[in-house]
Amino acid sequence: MSKPANLPQQLDHMLRQAVALQQNGAVTEAEELYREILELKPRHFEALQLLGALALQAGRVQEGIEFLRKALAINAKQAPLHSNLAYALNALQHFDEALGSANRALALQSRFPDALNNRGNAQAGLNLPHEALASFDRAIALMPDFAQAWNNRACVLRDLGRSDDALASCDHALALQPNYPDAWSNRGNALSDLNQPNEARQSYQRALELAPAFADAWNNLGLTQIDLDEHAQALQSYAHALAVNPAAAETHWNQSLCLLQLGQLEAGWKEYEWRWERSRIKAGRRIFAQPLWLGDSSVDGKTILLHAEQGLGDTLQFCRYAAMVSALGAKVVLEVPRELMRLVSTLDGVDQLIEAGQALPPFDCHCPLLSLPLAFNTDLANIPSKTPYLFADPQATHEWHERIAAKAEGGLKVGLVWAGGSRPHVAELRKNDARRSITFERLAPILDVPNVQFFSLQKGPAALQSPRNDSHPNVIDYTEELDDFADTAALVANLDLMISVDTSTAHLAGALNKPVWILNRFDTCWRWMLERTDTPWYAQARLFRQPALGDWDSVIRSAHDALAALSAEGKSAVR
């Protein structure tokens, strides 16, 4: 078909007609006209860029990117196109490319709020929160009523641990745009960080009134319902989120934690496998040529690699499964971090122990440690609960014996850990770390119990809180002599009792079959389940739970009273 002689005029008329249709809300008809224009002239710049924008608005991000790139190939001097491309690339989490596009837009037009906002989102995605904040602040300085920039600014303020400022930024966005679902949801996140779950719930519910299919808001509402001890409602919220987005790894993960807390282990372990799809965990996933073993085939006569994952406490808790794998006839190769090598050498069922980072021997299949409960169909009735399964070195234990006995002078010997590790660069972990840890000063009522000699086993920055003078002569700190967990185990073996927040030392004491009192946060880790004062994982563990979010006073009071009773009864009562 030959093109008409007056093609430029015809294309111009079609373009004006399409733009008018689009402005009047007839988007489908406008899109058809733009496509007709491109049939007549495939390199029509305006039709390409307008189709690109329409595709983005319709959520067809990849298609939008293709149109925008074709338009930019014709004219690369258009800042709005580079900015729109940055927006689209951010939506696909291609943050490096998005940052490049936003910077090209700003090179062409430095005072461009949209491009600054898109650059901020790319920088946030690249874990550059300080740079992102500067971009959002510049966008807002140029355009103070830019609600999206105020909302995005709140997200990076949370990443920076500035939850109060994040809340204020959300409120600013909502003052500008009261029916802005994302800002309501982010407001809920900030309130959750501030341990205000009732207020957080109201914000999430407002977001969901405005956008009933807002999967992230359903997911975050579920997390807040956990904080409010509303676990059944949380599962309903996660179900709503997954109905909208069945592949949402974070929601599957949160659902797994809730199921495990409720003791619904079979369903919980299956969902727990979604951890490998989470953005924070995915990068650390081990990819092997050998197949993953989840109990679905015989390992008799085969070599299996069991590899540690997540924290030291997780490794201490789940290395117990090595003996069960060995009992199936497998040769077990176990890989653990350096700090655990000497201690874990006492574990039954391990044929070869490998330090993480060292070359691996040949093996036939592999399993991450926290997938072993799924492989063995672990439920409440068959948790492998026999302790001890790890052992302190007899010689090192003997060497500590005289020193510790001399200090205790016949009183109870009690170890103390008051803070878990701090991982401030990850918002989710920062919140958990802050909630599970206390300060040394909070232990003061416990330290007043008579006839008790305390020993600090606190490592890391929080160790600096322990007394370095005579203010607490009944607290002795030998941690500078503890290089790895075998050293710590030898000291713990000489104690009558460990009192610890939920951290790796609590697991160490449990694995050694030492009495351990765990001072536990209200939004408990899944492994301690709900309401119990005991745990099937460790025979001699006792849980002291917060009755409400953040209520450490009740926990410390209960532990004080229990320790005072023990001290009055003498050592025999500890066992």
Assigned domain for 172 exists: no
Shared domain check, 546 and 441: yes
Radius of gyration in angstroms for the set of CA atoms belonging to the chain, rounded to a whole number: 29
Shared domain check, 470 and 421: yes
Predicted confidence (pLDDT) at residue 3 exceeds the cutoff of 80: no
| 356: CATH | 3.40.50
Mean model confidence pLDDT for the chain: 92
Shared domain check, 566 and 441: yes
Assigned domain for 565 exists: yes
Shared domain check, 331 and 412: no
Assigned domain for 550 exists: yes
Assigned domain for 113 exists: no
Predicted confidence (pLDDT) at residue 517 exceeds the cutoff of 90: yes
pLDDT at 21: 66
Structure tokens at 435: 């909630």
pLDDT band (50, 70, 90) for residue 58: confident
Shared domain check, 491 and 343: no
pLDDT band (50, 70, 90) for residue 478: very high
**Residues 6 or more apart whose Cβ sits within 8 Å of residue 215:** 240, 241, 242, 244, 245, 248, 251
Assigned domain for 216 exists: no
- Tally the C-alpha atoms within 13 A of residue 469's C-alpha that lie toward its C-beta: 1
Assigned domain for 345 exists: yes
Shared domain check, 511 and 566: yes
pLDDT greater at residue 59 or residue 171 = 171
Predicted confidence (pLDDT) at residue 469 exceeds the cutoff of 70: no
Shared domain check, 419 and 329: no
Q: What is the pLDDT of residues 68-85, one digit of tens each?
A: 888 888 888 999 999 999
Predicted confidence (pLDDT) at residue 406 exceeds the cutoff of 70: yes
Assigned domain for 330 exists: yes
- Quick one: which H or E segment has residue 452? strand 452-456
* C-alpha distances out from residue 234 to 207, 208, 216, 249, Å: 16, 15, 13, 16
Instruction: Decide which of 341, 375, 409 is a domain's last residue.
Output: 375
- CA–CA dist 235, 223 (Å, integer): 10
pLDDT at 199: 98
pLDDT at 426: 65
| Contact yes or no for 357/335 (Cβ under 8 A) | no
Handedness of CA 333, 335, 336, 341 (dihedral sign): positive
Domain that holds residue 459: 394-573
Q: What is the pLDDT of residues 334-391, one digit of tens each?
A: 999 999 999 999 999 999 999 999 999 999 999 999 999 999 999 999 999 999 999 9
Q: What is the rounded average pLDDT of the residues 173-191?
A: 98
Predicted confidence (pLDDT) at residue 562 exceeds the cutoff of 50: yes
Instruction: Decide which of 322, 345, 375 is a domain's last residue.
Output: 375
- Give the range among 13-17, 34-38, 369-373 with minimum mean pLDDT: 34-38
The alpha helices in 289-418, defined as continuous H runs, are: 312-318, 322-327, 341-344, 372-375, 394-408
pLDDT at 1: 45
Q: Is 414 helix (H, G, I), strand (E, B) or coil?
A: strand
Shared domain check, 452 and 411: yes
In percent, the amount of the chain with pLDDT more than 90 equals: 77
